[in-house]
């Protein structure tokens, strides 16, 4: 076995830095993707082919927004509990956050149902309406990833993981989930301003 000159603790610190850096790179990539979609929508509608979405967004999106904001708050308190080594509180707040994440997912699907009932489909004569599905669908894909991260945090708290590992895992989850929260608010406001 080759000696790299690093202790196990130093390797762990480097590994954690790399994981956090990868998370930030992924979030920057997601942000750039949604910025590109926003630009594409603006250029497309400015071309005059379609004059905006021309539909009132489902009111369910308001409830989705409230649910995801509350989920960020509960996750924040779960992280605080993890830092205070209150595992029972951490697990309870993680369960609430996961339930709110699933509720957000269900509400988004219900919003699609409202759109379909209004005969607004993914593929239709007003392509700018398709952007509603693209924005919300891509965000939902990331919500699924976020829910997987939250479930891993819950499993880590249930084992329980060593304090530093639990705290690091929660830290990454909080950063990612808050990012998804802010991303949804951006998407909702953008769609609202362009309806």
Residue 1 lies in a domain: no
Residue 67 lies in a domain: yes
Report the alpha-carbon distance of residue 8 to residue 194 in Å, rounded: 53
CATH code for the domain of 37: 1.20.120.80
Chain center to CA of 101? 9
Query: Between 122 and 62, where is the model more confident?
Result: 62
Residue 183 lies in a domain: yes
Give residue 106's pLDDT.
97
Residue 69 lies in a domain: yes
Query: Between 60 and 42, where is the model more confident?
Result: 60
Domain with 144, as residue range(s), is 11-193
Count of C-beta atoms within a 10 Å radius of residue 177: 26
Residue 5 lies in a domain: no
Report the alpha-carbon distance of residue 86 to residue 161 in Å, rounded: 13
Residue 4 lies in a domain: no
Give residue 1's pLDDT.
46
Number of domain units in the chain? 1
Q: Are 31 and 94 a contacting pair, CB within 8 Å?
A: no
Residue 2 lies in a domain: no
pTM of the model: 0.89
Calculate mean pLDDT across residues 40-56.
Answer: 75
Residue 57 lies in a domain: yes
Query: Between 121 and 127, where is the model more confident?
Result: 121
Q: pLDDT tens, 61-92?
A: 999 999 999 999 999 999 999 999 999 999 99
């Amino acid at each position: 076995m080759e000696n790299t000159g690093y202790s196990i603790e130093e390797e762990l610190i480097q590994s954690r830095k790399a994981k956090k850096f990868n998370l930030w790179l992924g979030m920057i990539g997601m942000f750039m993707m949604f910025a590109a979609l926003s630009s594409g929508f603006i250029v497309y509608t400015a071309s005059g082919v379609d004059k905006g979405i021309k539909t009132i967004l489902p009111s369910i999106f308001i409830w989705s927004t409230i649910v995801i904001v509350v989920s960020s708050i509960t996750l924040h308190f779960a992280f605080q509990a993890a830092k205070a080594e209150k595992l029972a509180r951490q697990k309870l707040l993680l369960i609430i956050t996961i339930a709110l994440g699933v509720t957000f997912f269900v509400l988004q699907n219900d919003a699609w149902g409202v759109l379909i009932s209004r005969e607004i489909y993914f593929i239709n004569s007003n392509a700018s309406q398709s952007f509603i599905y693209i924005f919300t669908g891509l965000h939902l894909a990331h919500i699924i990833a976020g829910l997987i991260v939250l479930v891993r945090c819950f499993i880590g708290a249930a084992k329980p993981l060593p304090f530093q590992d639990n705290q690091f895992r929660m830290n990454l989850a909080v950063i990612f989930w808050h990012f998804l929260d802010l991303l949804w608010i951006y998407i909702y406001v953008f769609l609202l301003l362009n309806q």
